[in-house]
Amino acid sequence: MESIEFNTGREYTPEGQKIVAYKIGTVVKEFDGETYEKYLVYFCDKSRHISELVEVLEFDQRSIMRRYDVCKYYSVYDDNKNTYGSIDDINKINYTLDEKHLYNRSL
Domains of the chain by residue range: 3-104
Mean pLDDT by 10 residues, the chain (107 residues): 94 94 87 89 90 92 95 73 58 48 43
- What does the angle CA 71 – CA 74 – CA 80 come to, to the nearest 5 degrees? 140
What pLDDT is attached to residue 52?
Answer: 87
36's CB contacts (< 8 A; 6+ apart) are 28, 29, 30, 57
Neighbours of 23 (CB within 10 A): 15
3-state DSSP assignment of residue 98:
coil
Per the CB < 8 A criterion, the answer to whether 1 and 43 are in contact is no
Query: CA 28: distance to chain centroid?
Result: 16
What pLDDT is attached to residue 4?
Answer: 96
